[in-house]
Amino acid sequence: MLKRLFLVIALIALTFAAAGGFRPGSVWATAGKRVDCAKVMAEVQAGKKTKVIAADLSISTSSVYRCKKKAAETTSKGKASAIMAAPAATASPMSK
C-alpha cells in the first residue's frame, strides 16, 4: 500500500515537472529585486502584451499587473481630485 502511494506521488511529480510546471529557479528569480514600474508602463503604452513585457524585463506577469494597478490608482486619484476641485472653482448658475 505504501509503495503504491509513493509510486503515484512520484508519477504525479514527474508528470508535473515534465510538463514544465515545476521551475524552482524561476519562483524566486526576482526575489529582493525592485520592479521599475516606469519601464513597465512605457512598454504597456507601446502596446505590448503582459507576457511579452514580463519576458522582456525578466519579471513576473503579476508584477506587470501590479504596476498597471498602481498606475490606474494614481490616475483615478488625480481625476477625483480634479473633479472635486472643479465645482468649487466655477460660479453657480443661480448666483447670476
CA distance 92 to 6: 78
Specify the pLDDT at position 12: 85
- Return the amino acid letter for 60: S
CA distance 60 to 68: 13
Kindly report the CATH number assigned to the domain that includes residue 63. Answer: 1.10.10
Residue ranges making up the domain that contains 50: 33-74
Report if residue 93 sits inside a domain: no
Q: How many domains does the chain have?
A: 1
Report if residue 52 sits inside a domain: yes
Report if residue 43 sits inside a domain: yes
Specify the pLDDT at position 6: 81
Q: Average pLDDT by consecutive 10-residue portion of the chain (96 residues)? A: 84 74 56 86 95 94 95 82 59 60
Q: What are phi and psi of 15, to 5 degrees?
A: -65, -45
Return the C-alpha cell found at 39: 519601464
Global pTM exceeds 0.85? no
Count of C-beta atoms within a 10 Å radius of residue 53: 22
